[in-house]
Amino acid sequence: MLIRPFVATDLPAFLPLFHAVVDDGETYAYPEDLGDTEIEALWVEAPPGLTVVAVDEGTGALLGSAKTGPNRPGRGAHVATASFMVAETARGRGVGRALGEWVLAHARAAGHTAMQFNAVVETNTAAVALWRSLGFVVVGTVPEAFESRRHGRVGLHVMHRPL
């Protein structure tokens, strides 16, 4: 697996992944009817942020993507944040962990002192377990802040770890 910066030619391969994740209704509160240009504007970060893709080195298939940058501007810019999407066919193969480790190393190298995830759906147990295994802790949960397609209203964890 190769993790590299997202380039414009990645968009056609990323769009089905984005739609599948969002339409599933279990992890992101993005609208389901976004067009290609809106998805690109939402997912592809401008500097100082960065969006990357994980691709299969043998086939070139897009396995997942992550975006990262400062959690807040100005006086909050020393804390990074990130978002992740992994193709259903690539789950359980270490793609999320590889993207998570890459983003943490990138944030550390960029001078961030911590990373904060603002909205990890509490019923997304695979993600919660992954982030805990990478040193994140739940610092709070906003009750019933996410409308899960399968579980109804569930909490959103705020997760944090120092770098």
pLDDT digits (tens, 9 = 90+) for 99-157: 999 999 999 999 999 999 999 999 999 999 999 999 999 999 999 999 999 999 999 99
- Which CATH architecture describes the domain 2-162? 3-Layer(aba) Sandwich (3.40)
Taking only the tens place, the pLDDT of each residue in 21-39 is 999 999 999 999 999 999 9
- Tell me what pLDDT residue 124 has: 97
What residue type is 161 in one-letter code?
A: R
